[in-house]
């Protein structure tokens, strides 16, 4: 299975010094992990602002070292545009029947969703802001640590 880790999952991993957090979802050797460059930037900013120590960073770095970091490119821009317009109920290519009011997603979350959608990755997240995209653009795997 191929998984994209949301920023909130990376933060939880920083607290998981024994590497037990994702073992019920992610197989240690068989599953491929991906991280959006946007989530990585968010994580590094949080680490700097909160003065993370080496132990905390090392816990998450174990996962980052086996992850592929996805950069922003032209195809990702288009996926972002489609998802943002859909979330605002203004994408004529995707009629909406599952929600009636616009879903105002954070811009970083839009980039993360676009990454999962473009690369057909399962998004692991604790964030319910992605729920309206499930089975439309991407597979959302809710995680409750």
pLDDT in tens, 86-143: 999 999 999 888 899 999 999 999 999 999 999 999 999 999 999 999 999 999 999 9
- pLDDT for residue 79: 99
Q: Is the dihedral of CA 69, 43, 64, 143 positive or negative?
A: negative
* pLDDT over 70 at 71, yes or no: yes
Q: pLDDT higher for 13 or 35?
A: 35
Average pLDDT over residues 71-88: 98
pLDDT in tens, 13-31: 888 756 677 776 776 666 8
The helix-helix angle for 107-119 and 74-87 (nearest 10°) equals: 120
pTM for the model stands at 0.93
Task: Grade residue 145 by pLDDT with cuts at 50, 70 and 90.
Answer: confident
Domains in the chain, ordered, with CATH?
A: 28-142 (3.40.50.1010)
């Amino acid at each position: 299975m191929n998984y994209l880790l949301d920023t909130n999952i990376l933060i939880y991993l920083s607290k998981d010094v024994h590497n037990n957090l994702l073992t019920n979802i992610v197989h240690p050797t068989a599953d491929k992990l991906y991280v959006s460059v946007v989530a990585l930037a968010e994580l590094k900013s949080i680490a700097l602002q909160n003065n993370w120590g080496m132990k905390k960073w090392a816990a998450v770095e174990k996962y980052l070292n086996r992850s592929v970091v996805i950069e922003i490119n032209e195809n990702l821009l288009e996926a972002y545009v489609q998802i943002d317009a859909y979330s605002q109920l203004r994408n004529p290519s995707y009629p909406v029947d599952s929600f009636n009011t616009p879903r105002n997603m954070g811009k970083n979350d839009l980039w993360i969703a676009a990454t999962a959608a473009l690369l057909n990755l399962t998004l692991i997240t604790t964030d319910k802001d992605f729920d309206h995209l499930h089975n439309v653009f991407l597979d959302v795997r809710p995680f409750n640590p």
